[in-house]
Chain A
């Protein structure tokens, strides 16, 4: 029984936290986290209204400074006190990582991280995104991570972080009043990735003209900073007029168009198959077993895209209980080490910095596809050696646990005899612990 639970803690969670009490049974542990409401992030973190308020104040400050370089606008209560944007971002991303290290609902955190990467936006895009990235995860991803896929899709596409990341507010219907007056037009950036990355997947049969039509349908998606709102605004004056033909469907003009498009894409069987494949790759194997994908796809179809039901279906698969084969991604691996050692993550900053050394920067994927997740993406020699370096460094901290009892607590019978005997004969306590954390079994989830 305990073996199965430890297995589940690694495959579906973030590894055992210190000597936390083990749940009675693995399926119950998973089910409880997926159906319970989101415990959220406890630290003080900004929402989209706070972020926009900061942006508006910064604009006022810059305007005042332009008018009079010798003025001190920060003394104006409508402007000051000034806050540095990158510091707000850092506090936010650090607190999120601290939350993951201490989390009592790690299976839910894994899903939040999975969807954040599926619907990737980068904080390092044009400036407001550094303030939007945290609110995006909390407002669009977290509340929907275990719900219906179509709701998650809708929330992500309407969030200012997504619109700003793809500069969707600049894509203008060429025949809209604004487009005609300013001679502006569309770009296909978000439209293409909406089909390829978020929903149907590559080679799903859509054509170039579908991409262009989708780009026309989502014109008008824009952001709003001045009002105390969600930050989203549909700007009808920028929306391409007239009905649009896309994907064999006719979509109405106006905001009803994107609404219908999201409903269509978010519940399409091809979308379900695409996300089922990604979920099976995430939890089971980089090479998704077709039978599993088929059963998870069917579960999504039968439940109208219920993500929790899909994950619970994955837990029912035989393939979910074979020895762990997935290589932990750098952030995942770093979190697992902190949890195993029960290290105080401080503000969360050390976790952020350590994961960067391993190659992954939280909330700033280099490409719109998000951070790569397959083992082949992370098995460069230098990258793996840095995991070994990290294990060595953190094992040198004061008050770290003994290696063999820790091995029993976190991996149990999953640790191979070869690894166990190396850990057992290591010449120093530090080396034994670093070996355990560098073992092939600890690198897996």
Chain B
């Protein structure tokens, strides 16, 4: 698990794969990459649709919170159905009981007033840039680029996406696996003929190969697993399976998961957000259960494309905003506190007199995790997040 420099031929190939810009940024330095047998796992959970950060981690100690959004605030800590207190200023939404337990165990760290690179309040643009890890459109996702820096085990690809559709986060030159619960499979002899037909097809060839490789791995890994009790909550079911696959010594080290919708709360927010957060909470608990002892070596990053308006809108909801919240969870996370350079909710402090002002960059968070958790050095992080000098890696996220 110690860092090792890539050999020269690999480096050349990597240069070719990453293109000229990346090759230049490499300079003469060697890339520090985790060894194939790294025990470290990184899971990115995307909440598509934009979670209202101030609904999940409520700044109830800010005197302007009640002025801007009284109808959206859960009861204060200590009251019936009240928030879970986190130090007298922030309260955790009552649906996040599992998150609360991890917070008390020092394994959950909320990061507030944080945002990705986009500022235009478009779901799709913001999701794209969040997943690409850049402030302009490129053709790969940042977790794919991380996968390129960590060798695969040989039995599974380094990175695994969950669900039939591969998220932008995982797209790119590096082969990645995808997993969805199985269906009636076709026989192997037939499959090898299919592969032969696609051997010259740039669009489909690699994906089919990866799909088959992952099926072989997941079939074996899951054959021994317990039957699943979490039928009702699709996300929790998938999260449990993700945990089990990640816990396998030969399994993937990086994973991308999505919760399904329910976050785009333009109206009736208190009910909708409670349901969505409850599903998220159950899912993360299931992921932790699936991981078992590997939880100690896992960091889970929960991210969303932007926060929502500071003021309640006319339909007991919130519209598209800017600054929001992210969560870091895992055995090594230095949690039990809230990471926030809090901008305040006075009108003059709001972004465009409307949204929570972002004071932290999601790329800084991700870079901090890559450094402390996966041991990636400056050059490697520059490949993962190109042109992000303005978003330096956060420190103090994990226990040494």
Contact = CB atoms under 8 A, between A and B. Distances in A.
A389 B314 contact: no
B89 interface: no
A382 to B, nearest CB: 4
Q: Which of B180, B209, B314 has the most CB of A within 10 A?
A: B314
B178 A327 contact: no
Contacts of B200: 416, 418
Interface stretch (B53-61, B182-190, B369-377): B182-190
A419 B204 CA distance: 14
B372 to A, nearest CB: 30
Given A172-B314, A389-B184, A439 B197 contact: yes
B288 interface: no
Contacts of B264: 189, 368
A84 B321 CA distance: 39
A208 B121 contact: yes
A174 interface: yes
Interface string A409-445: 0000000101100100011000100110011100100
Q: Which of B184, B190, B198 has the most CB of A within 10 A?
A: B190
Contacts of B267: 167, 170, 187, 189
A1 B380 CA distance: 55
Interface in B317-337: 317, 319-320
A366 B261 contact: yes
Q: Which of A434, A440, A443 has the most CB of B within 10 A?
A: A440
Nearest to A383: B164
Nearest to A358: B164
Interface stretch (B77-85, B211-219, B390-398): B211-219
Given A172-B314, A389-B184, A389-B186, A443 B204 contact: yes
A431 B123 CA distance: 44
Nearest to A326: B203
Nearest to A174: B314
A189 B266 contact: yes
B352 interface: yes
Interface in A381-401: 381-386, 388-389, 391-393
Contacts of A172: 314-315
Given A186-B313, A192-B121, A382 B261 contact: no
A128 interface: no
A368 B313 CA distance: 20
Contacts of A189: 264, 266-267, 319
Interface stretch (A145-153, A292-300, A370-378): A370-378
Contact of A167 (B121, B178, B315): B315
Interface in A9-28: none
Contact of B125 (A202, A208, A393, A422): A202
Contact of A187 (B177, B198, B266, B354): B266
Contact of A381 (B210, B261, B317): B210
Nearest to B171: A376
B164 A380 contact: yes
Nearest to A166: B266
Interface string B285-321: 0000000000000000000000000000111010110
Contacts of A304: none
A385 B212 CA distance: 8
A185 B203 contact: no
Given A359-B164, A385-B212, A434-B186, A187 B313 contact: yes
B169 to A, nearest CB: 12
B191 interface: yes
Interface string B153-169: 00000000100111000
B193 interface: yes
Nearest to B210: A381
A166 B315 CA distance: 11
B194 interface: yes
A435 B193 contact: yes
Contacts of B261: 366-367
Interface string A73-113: 00000000000000000000000000000000000000000
Contact of B204 (A203, A382, A440): A440
Q: Which of A172, A377, A385, A422 has the most CB of B within 10 A?
A: A385
Contacts of B171: 376
7 A-B pairs closest in CB distance: A185-B314, A381-B211, A380-B166, A392-B186, A359-B164, A381-B210, A189-B266
17 contacts: A167-B266, A167-B267, A170-B315, A185-B313, A185-B314, A186-B313, A186-B314, A187-B266, A192-B319, A203-B125, A325-B203, A359-B164, A378-B165, A381-B214, A418-B197, A426-B193, A438-B194
Interface of B: 48-49, 120-125, 161, 164-166, 171, 177-180, 183-187, 189-191, 193-194, 196-201, 203-204, 207-215, 260-261, 264, 266-268, 313-315, 317, 319-320, 352, 354
